[in-house]
Structure 1
Amino acid sequence: MTGRDDGDWLEFTAELLREPLTELPLDRVTRLLQETFEAPAVGTAELAADGTADGEIYPLDATLEGHREDMLTWSASHAVENPIARYFLATADVRPVQLADVPGRFTDRRVYGEGAALAQACGVAEQLCLPTGGADHPRLLVVGRPEVFSPSELRLADRIWRLVVGLDRQARAYSAALRNASASGRDVASAIRLTPRERSVLGLLAEGLTAGAIARRLNIAERTVHKHLERCYSKLGVADRLTAVLAAQRLGLVAA
């Protein structure tokens, strides 16, 4: 039995989409993951090309049976030895996976023995990973607890992963839209009540992306993109994508 369900995550996502997010709020996302899977902690790891990782353990007051600092130190220089990370880097499979289901060729204890012992001592021997960021910005959200995750929990994790990936892409797109907008453009966006999602869609439209490409970038349905565009057109007082881009450039909403 999980502590949270789809309804909680849909409500959470709806709340976040009303906010001008420029990055994924890891403290809030990991807290809900922790509650959903009744886990003592959730770790994050942004993997670098040199094999190191920049990460954190949430909640920030999680002691991990007194081994929190040991786990942070180990993860900083040995995260890629974790079988989940090895599997992710070798296969580029970006879907959720739990440690118990990682193929045997990635679970050699000669590589991960020290990490496995530490995870056991921390009470997070079983781990479920939700990758975000894509191949160019790989970041792993790892839910740790003593028990293996059940089939129903894995199905829920897959649905949650889709929402989190969508939120992450939305935040990145909105951040890019803000970087490309002038200071006056940000004021205009506020004045005409463009939402963060509408600004993200408008920014990607200005980059030359089609509605289908925008949908794939933001992990939403193409018909949803068209609805956002219709609202953008209405707020800008235009009737087509070319005029919308020109108007957005004139108002400083996107780079010319």
Structure 2
Amino acid sequence: MRERDDGDWLEFTAELLREPLTELPLDRVTLMLRETFGCGGVAVNDIRRDGTIDGRVLPLEATLEGHRADLERWASGNAHNHPIAQYYRTTGDVRLMQVAEVPSTLVDLRAYGEGEALLRDCGVGQQLAFPIGTPGAPPRVLVVGKPEVYGAEEMRLAHRVWRVLSGLDRQARAYAAALRNASPSGREVASAIRLTPRERAVLGLLAEGLTAGAIARRLDIAERTVHKHLERCYSKLGVADRLTAVLAAQRLGLVA
């Protein structure tokens, strides 16, 4: 029985969007995943361009039924043999999925044998992967697990959670870029006129020449939401349109 649902994730997301985050707070995100999907730990796997995987399990005190050390030993050189990792590498179709959904014709299950046995011993024979990151770049994959296959209701919730995680990650990246492009005086101005992290991210993308529709796609939010953020940016900058907003933001050092 899960402890967290859509309402909890909505509150969690609203809380994070109020903070000036430049990356996902993995400790808090993995805790929410654990409490939502009832698992003892969450694997965080960073896939490199050469296909190798840098992985760890959070929290650090998770024992995984006493098999953590054995699993880490196997994963250090074999994580790329996990069926989902093989599927991503073979097809380029990087999406939310569980092991039970991986077509056996596309992966070499023999290479996964020891890992499969270890994960069963850890009580997570089935894993569900949430890939996040910039499209076209190697993803970071958050993985939860349990003994049995995830049911239809759990998968529907997982898809909603994946959308939230993707949006939060995109927001953090956009805000980080906005900070890199702002001058020291621009940071003071942003604080003085109370630009929120989301508004700064939207303004930074606007200065890159993106349309409202493109910004919406980049941040994985509705276009009407982008327009609302832009309206607030215009009001705080004392302008009436996107061109004067960008010019004002450049003059104030908010964007490059």
Q: Please state which band the TM-score falls in when normalised by the shorter chain.
A: over 0.9
Displacement of 1:123: 1.6
Gaps of 5+ in 1: none
Q: Distance in 2 between matches of 1:49 and 1:136?
A: 8
CA contact (8 A) 2:175 2:201 kept: yes
CA contact (8 A) 2:199 2:233 kept: yes
1:81 corresponds in structure 2 to 81
Letter in 2 for 1:127: Q
Displacement of 1:115: 1.2
Question: What does 1:62-211 align with in structure 2 at a 5 Å threshold?
Answer: 62-133=62-133, 134-211=135-212
1:235 corresponds in structure 2 to 236
1:45 corresponds in structure 2 to 45
3-state SS in 2 of match to 1:71:
helix
3-state SS in 2 of match to 1:94:
coil
CA RMSD of aligned residues (A): 1.3
Q: Distance in 1 between matches of 2:247 and 2:220?
A: 26
Q: Distance in 2 between matches of 1:128 and 1:213?
A: 30
241 and 250 in structure 1: CA distance in 2 versus 1, 3 angstrom threshold: same
Letter in 1 for 2:78: H
Q: Distance in 1 between matches of 2:35 and 2:76?
A: 25
CA contact (8 A) 1:128 1:143 kept: yes
Q: Distance in 1 between matches of 2:72 and 2:209?
A: 42
Q: Aligned pairs, how many?
A: 255
3-state SS in 2 of match to 1:95:
coil
Matched, 1:23 2:23: yes
Letter in 1 for 2:176: S
Displacement of 1:88: 1.8
Displacement of 1:67: 2.2
Letter in 1 for 2:71: M
Displacement of 1:107: 4.5
TM-score, length-scaled by structure 1: 0.96
Higher alpha-carbon deviation: 49-58 or 244-253: 49-58
Gaps of 5+ in 2: none
Q: Distance in 2 between matches of 1:129 and 1:138?
A: 11
1:13 corresponds in structure 2 to 13
User: Deviations along 1:63-92, whole A, 9 cap, x unmatched?
Assistant: 112222332333233221100111122223
Letter in 1 for 2:97: V
Q: Distance in 1 between matches of 2:179 and 2:54?
A: 25
